[in-house]
């Protein structure tokens, strides 16, 4: 059964802010993950809310339980303890199946037989981040035209009717045309694995998440998730995106930067050193003094954090 119940239905007296940190256990956390976790934790704690830990292990080829254990160990070492969870997406397949069926019954989904190579061969990247907008090759295929494994795509409205607007908690008003900027998006992969967009929308609703904090590279995912949530009858959470940590060449820090993963960092620094440096880089304190996450809660304010990416 979904747990906990959707807190968005609570009356104002019982309402509690609920944020979540939802890492994918495909390797150890690196400094960029820690930065996102820290700001998510501070944002919800400053509102007196609860921080929910969800393990997004829906990719069976890459996710490993030992990586999830390492992530939780790192979070506890940093002082970023969670109030509920961990919840594992790999255990929630029946819930996703039921929600996907609701969409299928309304004709909102269709099978897609295209490979990534097919898509890249027929359409160049549209978005500045290299995202390819699917042009709907399989949208109106007659049943029986193709056979074999197929992904499942969610239909977006026709051009001019798919405008989604929302106010990001840090980057302000966002207006996105799903038709021209996203296209019909995948809700279940060809190998049967659940797609990120469907799983997080269902889980955020079922777990009563009211605030999602994550890197600005996921800004374009928000309108897709808002659209999907509304089609499923859910109230979408607030979205707040944060600047990325980048190297001196402007490239986002990633698992390739092994000197900045938690195994390397813990061998050289104490938790207060890392928290203090990240707080300084974020604009939460004037110097990189050692500090605990708990000590930052009282003075936390999103207005102190810039919108440009942070060179590290």
Helix count and strand count (H, E) for the chain: 10, 12
Question: Which of 1.10.1370.30, 3.40.190.10, 3.40.50.1820, 3.90.800.10 is the CATH number of 95-188?
Answer: 3.90.800.10
Can you read off the two tokens belonging to residue 209?
């998440």
Annotated binding site for L-glutamate: 20-24, 56, 196, 214
- pLDDT tens figures, 149-175: 999 999 999 877 899 999 999 999 999
pTM of the model: 0.91
Annotated binding site: 20-24, 56, 112, 114, 134, 138, 196, 214, 255
Highest mean pLDDT among 9-13, 106-110, 113-117: 106-110
Q: Greater confidence, 312 or 186?
A: 186
Is 213:40 a contact under the CB 8 Å cutoff?
Answer: yes
C-alpha 22/C-alpha 56 separation (Å) is: 6
| 298 pLDDT higher than 60 | yes
Q: What is the CATH number of domain 16-92+210-311?
A: 3.40.50.620
Averaged pLDDT for residues 285-291: 97
Could you tell me which of 200, 152, 156 has the C-alpha nearest to residue 181? 156
Annotated binding site for Zn(2+): 112, 114, 134, 138
| 5 pLDDT higher than 50 | no
Q: Greater confidence, 287 or 260?
A: 287
- pLDDT tens figures, 31-79: 999 999 999 999 999 999 999 999 999 998 888 899 999 999 999 999 9
Is 166:120 a contact under the CB 8 Å cutoff?
Answer: no
| 177 pLDDT higher than 70 | yes
Annotated binding site for ATP: 255
- What per-residue confidence (pLDDT) applies to 118? 78
CA angle 242, 247, 248 (to 5 degrees): 120
Mean per-residue pLDDT over the chain, rounded: 91
When pLDDT is cut at 50, 70 and 90, the band that residue 125 belongs to is low
Is 184:139 a contact under the CB 8 Å cutoff?
Answer: yes
C-alpha 76/C-alpha 191 separation (Å) is: 34
| 2 pLDDT higher than 50 | no
- What per-residue confidence (pLDDT) applies to 122? 65
C-alpha 45/C-alpha 103 separation (Å) is: 35
Q: Where in the chain is the domain with CATH 3.90.800.10?
A: 95-188
Q: Where in the chain is the domain with CATH 3.40.50.620?
A: 16-92+210-311
- Assign 241 to helix, strand or coil: strand
């Amino acid at each position: 059964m979904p747990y906990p119940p959707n807190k968005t239905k609570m009356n104002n007296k019982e309402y509690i802010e609920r944020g979540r940190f939802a890492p994918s256990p495909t390797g150890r956390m690196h400094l960029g993950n820690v930065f996102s976790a820290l700001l998510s934790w501070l944002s919800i704690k400053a509102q007196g809310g609860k921080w929910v830990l969800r393990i997004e292990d829906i990719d069976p080829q890459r996710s490993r339980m030992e990586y999830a254990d390492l992530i939780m160990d790192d979070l506890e070492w940093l002082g970023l303890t969670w109030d509920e969870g961990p919840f594992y997406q790999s255990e929630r397949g029946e819930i996703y199946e039921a929600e996907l069926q609701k969409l299928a019954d309304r004709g909102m989904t269709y099978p897609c037989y295209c490979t990534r190579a097919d898509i890249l061969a027929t359409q160049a990247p549209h978005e500045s981040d290299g995202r390819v907008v699917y042009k709907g090759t399989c949208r109106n295929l007659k049943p029986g035209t193709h056979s074999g494994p197929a992904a499942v795509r969610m239909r977006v409205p026709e051009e001019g009717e798919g405008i989604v607007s929302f106010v990001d908690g840090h980057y302000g008003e966002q207006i996105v045309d799903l038709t021209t900027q996203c296209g019909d998006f995948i809700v279940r992969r060809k190998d049967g694995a659940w797609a990120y967009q469907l799983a997080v929308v269902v889980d955020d609703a079922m777990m009563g998440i009211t605030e999602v904090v994550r890197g600005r590279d996921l800004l374009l995912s928000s309108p897709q998730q808002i659209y999907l949530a509304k089609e499923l009858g859910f109230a979408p959470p607030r979205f707040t995106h944060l600047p990325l940590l980048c190297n001196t060449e402007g490239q986002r820090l990633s698992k390739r930067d092994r000197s900045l993963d938690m195994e390397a960092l813990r061998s050289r620094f104490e938790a207060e050193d890392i928290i203090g440096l990240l707080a300084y880089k974020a604009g939460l304190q004037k110097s990189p003094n050692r500090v605990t996450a708990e000590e930052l809660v009282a003075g936390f304010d999103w207005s102190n954090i810039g919108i440009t990416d942070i060179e590290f």
